[in-house]
Structure 1
Amino acid sequence: MSKKGKLYIILVAIAILGIVAAEMTKPKQLNWFPSYATHHKIPFGSYVFHEQLKRLADTVTIVERPPFEYLKNNTIEGTYLFYNGGIEFGKEEINSLLDWVSRGNTLIISAVGFEEHLLDTLNLDTKSVSITENFNNEYQVNLVNPALDNKRSYKYERPTTFYHFDEIDTLQTAVVGLIDSYRGENMPIKDSLVNSIRQPFGAGHIMLSTFPQAFSNYFMLQSPNQNYSAGLLSYIDTSKPIYVDTYYKTGKTYYTSPMYLFLNTKSLKWAYYMVLIGAFIYILFEGKRKQRAIPIVKPLKNQTVDFTRTIANMYYENGKHKDIAQHKIHHFLEYIRNTLHLSTSEINTSFIKNLAARSNNTIEETETLFKLIERLSQKSELNAIELERLNTLIEQFKSHNQWKKTTS
């Protein structure tokens, strides 16, 4: 390799190492993915809420199956808690949940959107909060129960679209919380935008909230917002089992990819990237140096001998001894003309003497062979013994002439 090529490789290697060093020393970017998973410690995970719930409640059960399947066990009772960015139940599933609530249990759903069938059943409708006068995307929420410090507002400033209950059945529905644009520290909400409600259903209760961020790490760790989340939990009977759904969570409860450990650990991730970059450089430079292997093409096999042997066997098996004898005689005469350079147009005594001399055979052997040829040529049919006799004499005659081929 030339000096110029080596210089280019060194410069590329230095650049790659510089990029890797800069990336490894760069602060890790914050993950704002709205997972709401109970084991996630990212801003929109719910690790803090789950830990506090276990501390306050007697029994907390994580449910990793769909409620339609889980509620087939009729012994389950208590509170079923759902919170996520969006939840879409099927019609049969929401009916099974409502039947379960009607038997004296509590259902809490906190999400941006709700099942249409559920809203129709409870005579509810939702509408987005106007942002015409709230370009900073700052919101405040509070609780209406006087026992929960209803004069305090809790701030939330992440950009998002919030919803409120536009139509409610005031005879059956109790307002739990309100939401509006941020108006200042401890400023009460003037416009009644209802975002949390509670309604009896059969022997049980249903509580709905359009503010699932109340259960996120980001909201609860900003004091005093934890009081708002605690106020929502005050509507739950903590002496009974609480079932927390993880089936409808956006974030996974476990990692299915084996590459998670590599890509989630900075040092392993960059080691993996370096291996890929090194392999690419090796292929790029090493591939140009080596010529592609040239395949070996086998020459065509001469099938003449095999073909002749096949035809001869066919004639022999069919009993055409006369035809085989004629071919043998014609080939023998051709051999004399081409190899011994004698004319076969006239077979006489002079020809026999010259042929015997040139082929290293005796005159008697030569005469015997040609007498046999003459006799067989005159016969119309031959048997196998006569054909074998002809072949033996011709081969013996040729064998005496082999020394000429060896010395030539």
Structure 2
Amino acid sequence: MKGNHLFIICIAIFLLLMFAIECRLPKKFVWAPSFSHYDKQPFGCAVFDSLLSTSLPKGYSLSRKTFYELEQEDTISRRGILVATNNLSLTDVDVEAILKIAKRGNKIMLVSNSFNRNLEDTLDFNSSYSYFSPALLKKYAAASLEKDTLFWIGDSAAYPRQSFYFYPQLCSSYLMPDSLPAKVLAEKGIPSVPIALSYPWGKGEIILVSTPLLFTNYGVLDGKNATYIFRLLSQMGDLPIVRTEGYMKQTAQIQMSPFRYFLSQRPLRWALYLTMFTIILFMVFTARRRQRVIPIIYQPENKSLEFTELIGTLYFQKKDHADLVHKKYIYFAEELRREIQVNIEEVANDEHSFSRIAQKTGMNTEEISELIRSVRPVIYGGCTISVEQMKYFIDKMNEIIDHI
């Protein structure tokens, strides 16, 4: 197996192992309120919206429109409109649209721990503001301290008076009505202070609730306390309910893309980080200069025979047999000089030279003498010879060399 394949397999196994470990780790909750339809954390509204959409008989839907847009949208059908957020900030146009919608017979429920001055002046009430601290909530819950009591005192004919228990950090805000038309639906503590009011307006109704954190996933999953939420929602009667996110923070209104969902889940987020890190690591290692392809080098062909044939053809075409014998003689003389230290070019030493050649080769001295003395006129005298003579001289010189 190649090294890069093994590297990829090891990285894949490592990612799967890390993903499995992250999936088995305990979930870490985020206690920051978002009221988002896509948030499954305690103070999101994913479970809240899902439960209401299957529980309310007349229907439950989600919108991102403002009250002005909702007021312009439909002037005939009646419905209930729900807004749940931490700090509800309404403009004069919003307040005017709320009053018009309620006057037609619609019911509006505004759930917030604080309301701005223009709405308070219009409905003649005051609201207290309290800052929510997730750290204080976790510390209070860990200490197992006593919870606050909320009393349902709405229409006793429909629902009897009942007590509900919540952590103080979830219901610390309250309302103070200054006019008689306000109907108290729920209150908390001793002495009692209202936390839910109902104002009749025209043919409809405006309901104010100061416990927005209960209108979340935590609120509907908090055991028997979910009954409190449904009692408040029952004030909408048999109308279809629309929850608008038009007054939430812009980040909470953004629909979660698949990539955003990956980032919201801790195991998937770490898997994505590790994948990106692996890709960068792979790019760093593969960015090095690669070795160029080594060319195939074939074994050199032996051209000696071809060269010999070429030279032979040239000599054959020129008919210069004496020159060919001359070159062969030079080679022959060099071989004798190197092998047996005999210089046949020294004519004065012929007898000694012929005798030594005969001694080394085992040939007849007269035969050797006759060959060399007959070749010399051809070499030095420039005589012309026939093909047969050329072959004879060359064969004899080859025979002497072979016997050395």
Instruction: List per-residue Cα deviations over 1:365-406 (Å, max 9, x = no partner).
Output: xxxxxxxxxxxxxxxxxxxxxxxxxxxxxxxxxxxxxxxxxx
What SS does the corresponding residue of 2:223 show, helix, strand or coil? Answer: coil
The 1-side partners of 2:168 and 2:36 are apart by: 19
Deviates more, 1:140-149 or 1:227-236: 140-149
8 Å Cα contact 1:142/1:228 also seen in 2:
no
Aligned to 2:44: 45
Instruction: List per-residue Cα deviations over 1:222-263 (Å, max 9, x = no partner).
Output: 22112211221221121x332221323457455355522433
User: Quick one: structure 1 residues 282 and 160, their matched pair in 2 at CA, closer, same or farther if it must change by over 3 Å?
Assistant: same
User: Quick one: structure 1 residues 97 and 195, their matched pair in 2 at CA, closer, same or farther if it must change by over 3 Å?
Assistant: same
Letter of the 1:122 partner, please give it: L
8 Å Cα contact 2:220/2:226 also seen in 1:
yes
Aligned to 1:178: 187
- Answer 1 or 2: which has greater helix percent: 2
Aligned to 1:245: 244
8 Å Cα contact 1:176/1:198 also seen in 2:
yes
8 Å Cα contact 1:246/1:253 also seen in 2:
yes
The 1-side partners of 2:55 and 2:116 are apart by: 31
TM superposition shift of 1:63: 2.1
What SS does the corresponding residue of 1:153 show, helix, strand or coil? Answer: strand
8 Å Cα contact 2:81/2:243 also seen in 1:
yes
TM superposition shift of 1:160: 5.2
Q: How does 1:255-274 map to 2 (within 5 A)?
A: 255=255, 257=257, 259-264=259-264, 268-274=268-274
8 Å Cα contact 2:22/2:266 also seen in 1:
no
TM-score (norm 2): 0.56
Aligned to 2:217: 217
Instruction: List per-residue Cα deviations over 1:50-91 (Å, max 9, x = no partner).
Output: 333553332434222222122113224232211122222221
The 2-side partners of 1:210 and 1:217 are apart by: 17
TM-score (norm 1): 0.55
Aligned to 2:177: 168
RMSD: 3.6
What SS does the corresponding residue of 1:207 show, helix, strand or coil? Answer: strand
TM superposition shift of 1:35: 2.5
Instruction: List per-residue Cα deviations over 1:263-293 (Å, max 9, x = no partner).
Output: 3456643332223323454577788x77xxx
Deviates more, 1:67-76 or 1:263-272: 263-272
User: Quick one: structure 1 residues 23 and 76, their matched pair in 2 at CA, closer, same or farther if it must change by over 3 Å?
Assistant: same
The 1-side partners of 2:18 and 2:47 are apart by: 36
TM superposition shift of 1:203: 2.9
Aligned to 2:382: none
Letter of the 1:140 partner, please give it: T
Aligned to 1:141: 150
The 2-side partners of 1:234 and 1:75 are apart by: 22
What SS does the corresponding residue of 1:234 show, helix, strand or coil? Answer: helix
TM superposition shift of 1:164: 0.9
8 Å Cα contact 2:120/2:126 also seen in 1:
yes
User: Quick one: structure 1 residues 277 and 36, their matched pair in 2 at CA, closer, same or farther if it must change by over 3 Å?
Assistant: same
8 Å Cα contact 1:164/1:195 also seen in 2:
yes
Structure 1 stretches lacking a partner, 5+ long: 1-13, 181-189, 291-408
Is the aligned partner of 1:108 residue 2:109?
yes
8 Å Cα contact 1:128/1:161 also seen in 2:
no
Letter of the 2:244 partner, please give it: D
TM superposition shift of 1:47: 4.1
TM superposition shift of 1:120: 0.6
Q: Between the two proteins, what is the percent identity of the paired residues?
A: 23
8 Å Cα contact 1:35/1:44 also seen in 2:
yes
Q: Which of the two has higher C-alpha Rg?
A: 2
Letter of the 2:274 partner, please give it: M
Structure 2 stretches lacking a partner, 5+ long: 1-12, 142-146, 290-404
8 Å Cα contact 1:79/1:108 also seen in 2:
yes
Letter of the 1:230 partner, please give it: F
Aligned to 1:155: 165
